[in-house]
Structure 1
Amino acid sequence: MSEIDDATRTELEAAAFRRLVAHLRERTDVQNIDLMNLAGFCRNCLANWYRDAAEAKGLALTKDETREIVYGMPYDDWKARHQTEATPAQSAAFEVSQTAALHKDH
């Protein structure tokens, strides 16, 4: 693998993040619970990680502000347009995945 300087690495990581966010904005059919069940993170996690990174740089962004960055619209608007009620199977899978995550370090 070729050497990548820090500035270039940051640019590539930012581009990959922007592409992931754009992809998730397009895939409104994929619910956050599905992401959590399969990957252990969701759009809200990305927004939280963005806020954490901002805070580490001394920037105070609210949860609503970072969610709007990730969702491309206010979170309540996204929920009203795209979020569906979790099915019993989705909820059960979520409980299993959360229990497994809690016990993975033990």
Structure 2
Amino acid sequence: MNVDELNKEQQEKIEAAVFRRLLKHLDERKDAQNIDLMNLAGFCRNCLSKWYAAEAKELGSEIEKESARERVYGMPYNEWKTLYQKEASAEQLASFEQNKPKD
């Protein structure tokens, strides 16, 4: 079957499952720091939580920022930071400054 042959319900189920798999993968890779993700891919866990809240709003549901973060991080954000976030190196910060999105 070609992806174009999926109906909207099938496509949304698959996309939801892929999102859950991405969150599981990120949860299993706590060594992948947000700054590394930003430097390599241009997005991080914080971006995902912002997108989550924005899409919920677009669909008519207001989700608090911290609640969206907890969904993405699998725990309260401050707890995740305390347990897993490492201090960014000068090299990481320089790369981030050079490549950060221009909003």
Same fold (TM over 0.5): yes
The structure 1 segments of at least 4 consecutive aligned residues displaced by more than 2 Å after TM superposition are: none
Instruction: Write the mapping of 1:8-27 to structure 2, written as runs, cut at 5 A.
Output: 8-27=10-29
Q: What letter matches 1:83 in structure 2?
A: Q
Q: CA deviation at 1:20?
A: 0.3
Among 29, 32, 35, the alignment partner of 2:34 is 32
**CA offset digits 1:12-52 (Å, max 9, x no partner):** 10000000001001100010000000000000100011101
Structure 1 portions without partners, runs of 5+: none
Structure 2 portions without partners, runs of 5+: none
2:60 paired residue number? 58
Aligned residues: 101
1:97 and 2:91 correspond: no
Q: For residues 57 and 12 of structure 1, what CA distance do their matches in structure 2 show?
A: 18
**CA offset digits 1:34-84 (Å, max 9, x no partner):** 000000000010001110111112111111000000000000000000000
With structure 1 as the length reference, what TM-score do the two structures score?
A: 0.91
Instruction: Write the mapping of 1:39-54 to structure 2, written as runs, cut at 5 A.
Output: 39-54=41-56
Secondary structure (helix, strand or coil) at the match of 2:102 reads helix
| % identity of equivalent residues | 51
Q: CA deviation at 1:102?
A: 2.6
